[in-house]
Homo-oligomer: A and B are copies of this chain.
Amino acid sequence: MSCTVRALSVAEPGGPIVEIEYEAAPLGPLEVEVEVTHCGVCSTDAGLIDDKYGRSKFPLVAGHEAVGVVSAVGAEVTGLQIGTRVGVGATAGACFHCEWCLRGQQQLCPDKDDTAFRGLGGGFASHVRASDWRYATPIPDSMTSGDAAPLLCAGATVFSAIVRHNVRPTDHVAVIGLGGLGHLAVQFLAKWGCHVTVISSTAAKRNDALELGAHDFLDSSEGLTQANGSFDFVLSTVSANLPWDTYLATLRPHGTLSMLGVFGGTMNIAPLSLILGERTLSGGLTGPPSMFRSMMEFPDRHAIRPLTETYPVAAISRALDSVRNGTPRYRAVIEF
Protein backbone atom coordinates (compact mmCIF):
# COMPACT_ATOMS: atom_id res chain seq x y z
CA MET A 1 0.00 0.00 0.00
CA SER A 2 1.42 3.41 -0.91
CA CYS A 3 0.10 6.82 -1.87
CA THR A 4 1.08 9.98 -3.68
CA VAL A 5 1.67 12.81 -1.20
CA ARG A 6 1.31 16.45 -2.22
CA ALA A 7 3.36 18.47 0.20
CA LEU A 8 4.36 22.08 0.88
CA SER A 9 8.12 21.86 0.89
CA VAL A 10 11.16 24.10 1.16
CA ALA A 11 14.35 23.08 -0.61
CA GLU A 12 16.85 25.08 1.42
CA PRO A 13 16.99 27.13 4.64
CA GLY A 14 14.53 30.03 4.49
CA GLY A 15 13.61 29.04 0.95
CA PRO A 16 10.19 29.60 -0.62
CA ILE A 17 7.36 27.13 -0.09
CA VAL A 18 6.79 25.01 -3.18
CA GLU A 19 4.27 22.26 -3.79
CA ILE A 20 5.92 18.92 -4.47
CA GLU A 21 4.63 15.42 -4.98
CA TYR A 22 6.28 12.21 -3.90
CA GLU A 23 5.40 8.57 -3.53
CA ALA A 24 5.27 7.53 0.10
CA ALA A 25 6.92 4.25 1.06
CA PRO A 26 4.72 1.23 1.71
CA LEU A 27 2.91 1.52 5.02
CA GLY A 28 4.68 -0.23 7.90
CA PRO A 29 2.76 -2.69 10.06
CA LEU A 30 2.07 -0.25 12.93
CA GLU A 31 1.75 2.88 10.79
CA VAL A 32 -1.34 4.85 9.97
CA GLU A 33 -1.77 7.34 7.18
CA VAL A 34 -3.89 10.41 7.81
CA GLU A 35 -5.44 12.53 5.10
CA VAL A 36 -4.80 16.02 6.45
CA THR A 37 -7.59 18.61 6.58
CA HIS A 38 -5.97 21.12 8.98
CA CYS A 39 -2.51 21.83 10.35
CA GLY A 40 -1.51 24.41 12.97
CA VAL A 41 1.54 26.60 12.44
CA CYS A 42 3.98 26.67 15.35
CA SER A 43 6.96 28.99 15.71
CA THR A 44 9.07 25.81 15.56
CA ASP A 45 7.85 25.30 11.98
CA ALA A 46 9.23 28.70 10.99
CA GLY A 47 12.41 27.88 12.93
CA LEU A 48 12.79 24.56 11.09
CA ILE A 49 12.23 26.16 7.69
CA ASP A 50 14.80 28.83 8.58
CA ASP A 51 17.13 26.10 10.04
CA LYS A 52 17.32 28.07 13.28
CA TYR A 53 18.17 24.92 15.26
CA GLY A 54 20.82 23.64 12.83
CA ARG A 55 19.03 20.28 12.69
CA SER A 56 16.74 20.66 9.67
CA LYS A 57 16.80 18.14 6.83
CA PHE A 58 16.06 19.49 3.35
CA PRO A 59 13.88 19.17 1.37
CA LEU A 60 11.71 19.84 4.39
CA VAL A 61 7.98 19.61 4.96
CA ALA A 62 7.13 21.28 8.26
CA GLY A 63 3.89 21.05 10.24
CA HIS A 64 3.33 19.07 13.43
CA GLU A 65 -0.22 19.94 14.48
CA ALA A 66 -1.99 17.90 11.82
CA VAL A 67 -5.62 16.82 11.97
CA GLY A 68 -7.40 14.67 9.44
CA VAL A 69 -9.00 11.31 8.77
CA VAL A 70 -7.29 7.94 8.88
CA SER A 71 -6.99 6.84 5.25
CA ALA A 72 -4.91 3.67 5.62
CA VAL A 73 -3.71 1.46 8.48
CA GLY A 74 -0.80 -0.99 8.69
CA ALA A 75 -1.29 -4.73 8.99
CA GLU A 76 -0.80 -4.80 12.78
CA VAL A 77 -2.78 -1.72 13.76
CA THR A 78 -5.33 -3.06 16.22
CA GLY A 79 -7.01 0.00 17.72
CA LEU A 80 -7.74 2.47 14.97
CA GLN A 81 -10.03 2.27 11.95
CA ILE A 82 -9.97 3.92 8.56
CA GLY A 83 -12.28 6.94 8.69
CA THR A 84 -11.49 7.94 12.31
CA ARG A 85 -10.70 11.61 12.79
CA VAL A 86 -7.31 11.95 14.53
CA GLY A 87 -4.48 14.35 15.25
CA VAL A 88 -0.73 13.84 14.85
CA GLY A 89 1.52 16.15 16.88
CA ALA A 90 5.22 16.78 17.24
CA THR A 91 5.89 13.12 17.99
CA ALA A 92 4.60 10.44 15.65
CA GLY A 93 5.98 7.29 17.22
CA ALA A 94 8.14 5.71 19.92
CA CYS A 95 9.69 2.29 20.44
CA PHE A 96 7.21 1.22 23.16
CA HIS A 97 9.80 -1.12 24.64
CA CYS A 98 12.54 1.05 26.23
CA GLU A 99 12.54 1.89 29.93
CA TRP A 100 10.73 5.21 29.39
CA CYS A 101 8.12 3.80 27.06
CA LEU A 102 7.42 0.95 29.48
CA ARG A 103 6.99 3.52 32.25
CA GLY A 104 4.42 5.45 30.20
CA GLN A 105 6.81 8.34 29.61
CA GLN A 106 7.17 7.86 25.87
CA GLN A 107 8.13 11.51 25.40
CA LEU A 108 11.53 10.48 26.83
CA CYS A 109 12.04 7.57 24.41
CA PRO A 110 15.47 7.98 22.79
CA ASP A 111 14.12 6.52 19.55
CA LYS A 112 10.93 8.53 19.31
CA ASP A 113 9.92 9.73 15.88
CA ASP A 114 9.80 13.52 15.81
CA THR A 115 7.38 14.64 13.08
CA ALA A 116 9.15 17.96 12.93
CA PHE A 117 12.63 16.57 12.28
CA ARG A 118 11.84 14.05 9.58
CA GLY A 119 12.63 16.26 6.60
CA LEU A 120 9.84 15.10 4.31
CA GLY A 121 6.93 13.85 6.35
CA GLY A 122 5.50 16.90 8.14
CA GLY A 123 1.87 17.92 8.34
CA PHE A 124 1.89 20.66 5.69
CA ALA A 125 0.84 18.00 3.20
CA SER A 126 -2.08 16.03 1.84
CA HIS A 127 -1.12 13.08 4.05
CA VAL A 128 0.89 12.61 7.22
CA ARG A 129 1.84 9.42 8.98
CA ALA A 130 2.03 8.31 12.57
CA SER A 131 4.79 5.71 12.58
CA ASP A 132 2.91 4.12 15.47
CA TRP A 133 -0.90 4.29 15.50
CA ARG A 134 -0.88 5.05 19.25
CA TYR A 135 0.40 8.51 18.29
CA ALA A 136 -2.71 9.23 16.22
CA THR A 137 -5.02 10.75 18.84
CA PRO A 138 -8.77 10.52 18.22
CA ILE A 139 -10.55 13.89 18.20
CA PRO A 140 -13.83 14.25 20.13
CA ASP A 141 -16.89 14.64 17.89
CA SER A 142 -17.75 17.98 19.46
CA MET A 143 -14.45 19.58 18.49
CA THR A 144 -13.80 20.99 15.01
CA SER A 145 -10.62 19.90 13.28
CA GLY A 146 -9.44 23.51 13.09
CA ASP A 147 -9.81 23.83 16.86
CA ALA A 148 -8.14 20.49 17.53
CA ALA A 149 -4.99 21.28 15.53
CA PRO A 150 -3.35 23.78 17.95
CA LEU A 151 -3.91 21.38 20.85
CA LEU A 152 -1.50 18.88 19.31
CA CYS A 153 1.63 20.89 20.09
CA ALA A 154 0.80 24.20 21.82
CA GLY A 155 -1.92 22.60 23.93
CA ALA A 156 -0.03 19.40 24.67
CA THR A 157 3.09 21.25 25.78
CA VAL A 158 1.30 23.35 28.40
CA PHE A 159 -1.16 20.63 29.45
CA SER A 160 1.71 18.21 29.98
CA ALA A 161 3.55 20.67 32.25
CA ILE A 162 0.40 21.22 34.32
CA VAL A 163 -0.12 17.48 34.74
CA ARG A 164 3.52 16.62 35.36
CA HIS A 165 3.96 19.23 38.09
CA ASN A 166 0.80 18.15 39.89
CA VAL A 167 -0.70 21.62 39.76
CA ARG A 168 -3.63 21.71 42.20
CA PRO A 169 -6.92 23.60 41.90
CA THR A 170 -6.01 25.53 45.05
CA ASP A 171 -2.78 26.85 43.51
CA HIS A 172 -2.07 30.42 42.49
CA VAL A 173 -0.38 30.22 39.12
CA ALA A 174 1.12 32.57 36.56
CA VAL A 175 1.53 32.19 32.81
CA ILE A 176 4.39 34.13 31.23
CA GLY A 177 3.40 35.20 27.74
CA LEU A 178 0.00 35.21 26.04
CA GLY A 179 0.59 33.61 22.65
CA GLY A 180 -0.11 30.25 21.05
CA LEU A 181 0.88 28.30 24.18
CA GLY A 182 -0.05 30.91 26.77
CA HIS A 183 -3.65 31.46 25.65
CA LEU A 184 -4.30 27.73 25.99
CA ALA A 185 -2.44 27.51 29.33
CA VAL A 186 -4.67 30.25 30.78
CA GLN A 187 -7.82 28.38 29.78
CA PHE A 188 -6.57 25.03 31.08
CA LEU A 189 -5.45 26.50 34.40
CA ALA A 190 -8.63 28.53 34.93
CA LYS A 191 -10.74 25.40 34.38
CA TRP A 192 -8.31 23.46 36.59
CA GLY A 193 -9.65 25.67 39.38
CA CYS A 194 -6.51 27.76 39.89
CA HIS A 195 -6.13 31.48 40.47
CA VAL A 196 -4.48 32.53 37.20
CA THR A 197 -2.31 35.58 36.52
CA VAL A 198 -0.99 36.40 33.06
CA ILE A 199 2.40 38.12 32.95
CA SER A 200 3.07 39.84 29.64
CA SER A 201 5.04 42.80 28.36
CA THR A 202 2.14 43.63 26.01
CA ALA A 203 -0.33 45.64 28.07
CA ALA A 204 -2.84 45.48 25.19
CA LYS A 205 -3.36 41.77 25.92
CA ARG A 206 -4.94 42.44 29.33
CA ASN A 207 -8.54 42.15 28.11
CA ASP A 208 -7.88 38.96 26.17
CA ALA A 209 -6.19 37.46 29.25
CA LEU A 210 -9.19 38.22 31.43
CA GLU A 211 -11.66 36.98 28.82
CA LEU A 212 -9.76 33.72 28.54
CA GLY A 213 -10.23 33.19 32.29
CA ALA A 214 -7.28 34.91 33.96
CA HIS A 215 -8.04 36.55 37.30
CA ASP A 216 -5.21 39.05 37.07
CA PHE A 217 -2.78 40.55 34.58
CA LEU A 218 0.71 41.89 35.25
CA ASP A 219 2.48 44.14 32.78
CA SER A 220 6.06 42.95 33.17
CA SER A 221 7.41 46.21 31.76
CA GLU A 222 6.24 47.85 35.00
CA GLY A 223 8.21 45.41 37.18
CA LEU A 224 7.15 42.36 39.14
CA THR A 225 8.17 43.09 42.73
CA GLN A 226 4.52 43.52 43.71
CA ALA A 227 4.07 39.83 42.85
CA ASN A 228 6.99 38.53 44.93
CA GLY A 229 6.12 35.33 46.78
CA SER A 230 2.76 34.99 45.00
CA PHE A 231 2.72 31.88 42.85
CA ASP A 232 2.88 28.14 43.45
CA PHE A 233 3.55 27.52 39.78
CA VAL A 234 4.83 29.75 37.01
CA LEU A 235 4.71 28.50 33.42
CA SER A 236 7.00 30.27 30.98
CA THR A 237 5.59 29.94 27.47
CA VAL A 238 7.93 32.46 25.81
CA SER A 239 11.13 31.83 23.85
CA ALA A 240 13.04 34.70 25.41
CA ASN A 241 15.83 34.92 27.96
CA LEU A 242 14.22 36.77 30.85
CA PRO A 243 15.63 38.06 34.16
CA TRP A 244 14.93 34.68 35.77
CA ASP A 245 15.80 35.68 39.34
CA THR A 246 12.98 38.22 39.10
CA TYR A 247 10.56 35.53 38.00
CA LEU A 248 11.82 33.00 40.58
CA ALA A 249 11.15 35.65 43.23
CA THR A 250 7.46 35.63 42.30
CA LEU A 251 7.25 31.99 43.46
CA ARG A 252 5.97 31.04 46.86
CA PRO A 253 8.10 28.63 48.91
CA HIS A 254 8.22 25.19 47.26
CA GLY A 255 7.04 26.80 44.02
CA THR A 256 8.09 25.66 40.55
CA LEU A 257 9.03 27.64 37.46
CA SER A 258 8.47 25.47 34.41
CA MET A 259 10.30 26.48 31.23
CA LEU A 260 8.83 25.51 27.88
CA GLY A 261 10.49 27.94 25.47
CA VAL A 262 13.93 27.43 23.94
CA PHE A 263 16.25 30.37 23.31
CA GLY A 264 19.92 31.03 22.71
CA GLY A 265 22.37 31.86 25.49
CA THR A 266 22.18 30.74 29.11
CA MET A 267 19.84 31.51 31.96
CA ASN A 268 21.59 33.33 34.82
CA ILE A 269 20.34 32.23 38.22
CA ALA A 270 21.58 33.16 41.69
CA PRO A 271 21.78 30.04 43.88
CA LEU A 272 19.79 31.69 46.68
CA SER A 273 16.88 32.17 44.24
CA LEU A 274 16.46 28.40 44.44
CA ILE A 275 17.73 27.64 47.95
CA LEU A 276 15.63 30.15 49.88
CA GLY A 277 12.09 28.87 49.71
CA GLU A 278 13.32 25.52 48.30
CA ARG A 279 12.20 26.52 44.81
CA THR A 280 12.40 24.46 41.65
CA LEU A 281 13.24 25.22 38.04
CA SER A 282 12.20 22.64 35.52
CA GLY A 283 12.01 22.09 31.78
CA GLY A 284 9.30 20.28 29.88
CA LEU A 285 8.61 18.51 26.61
CA THR A 286 5.30 17.52 25.13
CA GLY A 287 3.65 14.58 26.88
CA PRO A 288 3.07 10.88 26.18
CA PRO A 289 0.06 9.42 24.28
CA SER A 290 -1.87 8.84 27.51
CA MET A 291 -1.66 12.57 28.21
CA PHE A 292 -2.88 13.42 24.70
CA ARG A 293 -6.00 11.37 25.34
CA SER A 294 -6.84 13.08 28.62
CA MET A 295 -5.97 16.46 27.08
CA MET A 296 -8.59 15.90 24.36
CA GLU A 297 -11.20 15.02 26.97
CA PHE A 298 -10.57 18.03 29.22
CA PRO A 299 -11.25 20.88 26.72
CA ASP A 300 -14.23 18.94 25.44
CA ARG A 301 -15.74 18.96 28.96
CA HIS A 302 -14.84 22.59 29.66
CA ALA A 303 -15.45 24.23 26.27
CA ILE A 304 -11.79 25.22 26.03
CA ARG A 305 -10.95 26.25 22.49
CA PRO A 306 -7.94 27.88 20.87
CA LEU A 307 -8.44 31.24 19.23
CA THR A 308 -7.32 30.66 15.65
CA GLU A 309 -6.68 32.48 12.40
CA THR A 310 -7.40 30.17 9.49
CA TYR A 311 -5.41 30.42 6.26
CA PRO A 312 -6.01 28.58 2.98
CA VAL A 313 -3.11 26.49 1.67
CA ALA A 314 -2.23 29.19 -0.86
CA ALA A 315 -1.57 31.63 1.98
CA ILE A 316 0.85 29.44 3.95
CA SER A 317 3.77 31.84 3.43
CA ARG A 318 1.69 34.64 4.90
CA ALA A 319 0.78 32.42 7.88
CA LEU A 320 4.47 31.61 8.45
CA ASP A 321 5.42 35.28 8.31
CA SER A 322 2.73 36.08 10.83
CA VAL A 323 4.13 33.40 13.14
CA ARG A 324 7.67 34.72 12.63
CA ASN A 325 6.41 38.14 13.74
CA GLY A 326 4.44 36.76 16.68
CA THR A 327 1.22 38.38 15.47
CA PRO A 328 -1.36 35.54 15.34
CA ARG A 329 -4.26 35.96 17.78
CA TYR A 330 -3.43 33.33 18.89
CA ARG A 331 -2.69 30.40 16.60
CA ALA A 332 -2.50 30.17 12.81
CA VAL A 333 -4.10 27.10 11.21
CA ILE A 334 -3.79 26.01 7.57
CA GLU A 335 -6.92 24.53 6.03
CA PHE A 336 -6.34 21.99 3.27
Q: How many copies does the complex hold?
A: 2
Residues of B within 8 A of A185 (CB): none
Contact with B along A273-290 (1 / 0, CB 8 A): 111111111111100000
Q: Could you tell me if A262 and B272 are in contact, using CB atoms closer than 8 angstroms?
A: yes
For the complex, is A207 an interface residue (Cβ under 8 Å from B)?
A: no
For the complex, is A164 an interface residue (Cβ under 8 Å from B)?
A: yes
Q: Could you tell me if B271 and A262 are in contact, using CB atoms closer than 8 angstroms?
A: yes
A52 nearest CB across to chain B (Å): 13
Q: Could you tell me if B277 and A108 are in contact, using CB atoms closer than 8 angstroms?
A: yes
Q: Could you tell me if B285 and A108 are in contact, using CB atoms closer than 8 angstroms?
A: no
**The residue from B108, B259, B265 contacting A254, defined by CB atoms under 8 A apart:** B108
Evaluate whether A260 and B275 lie within 8 angstroms (CB atoms) in the complex, with A100-B253, A253-B105, A269-B269 already known.
yes
**The residue from B267, B275, B285 contacting A283, defined by CB atoms under 8 A apart:** B275
Contact with B along A203-245 (1 / 0, CB 8 A): 0000000000000000000000000000000000000000001
Q: Could you tell me if A271 and B279 are in contact, using CB atoms closer than 8 angstroms?
A: no
For the complex, is A268 an interface residue (Cβ under 8 Å from B)?
A: yes
Q: Could you tell me if B271 and A268 are in contact, using CB atoms closer than 8 angstroms?
A: no
For the complex, is A263 an interface residue (Cβ under 8 Å from B)?
A: yes
**The residue from B108, B280, B281 contacting A253, defined by CB atoms under 8 A apart:** B108
**The residue from B107, B164, B259, B273 contacting A274, defined by CB atoms under 8 A apart:** B259
Q: Could you tell me if A259 and B282 are in contact, using CB atoms closer than 8 angstroms?
A: no
A100, A253, A268 interface centre (most CB from chain B within 10 Å)? A253
Residues of B within 8 A of A254 (CB): 105, 108
For the complex, is A140 an interface residue (Cβ under 8 Å from B)?
A: no
A164 nearest CB across to chain B (Å): 7
Residues of B within 8 A of A284 (CB): 275, 278
Closest chain B residue to A265, Cβ basis = B270
Evaluate whether A278 and B164 lie within 8 angstroms (CB atoms) in the complex, with A105-B253, A108-B253, A268-B266 already known.
yes
Residues 112-159 of A at the B interface (beta carbon under 8 Å): none
Residues 6-44 of A at the B interface (beta carbon under 8 Å): none
Besides A108-B277, A259-B274, A262-B271, 11 more A-B contacts (Cβ < 8 Å) are A105-B254, A108-B278, A164-B278, A261-B271, A262-B275, A269-B281, A274-B281, A276-B283, A278-B283, A279-B282, A280-B282
- 28 A-B pairs within 8 Å (CB atoms) are namely A100-B253, A105-B253, A105-B254, A107-B278, A108-B254, A108-B277, A245-B266, A259-B275, A260-B275, A262-B271, A266-B270, A267-B271, A269-B281, A271-B283, A272-B283, A273-B283, A275-B283, A275-B284, A275-B285, A276-B283, A278-B282, A278-B283, A278-B284, A278-B285, A279-B283, A280-B281, A280-B283, A281-B282
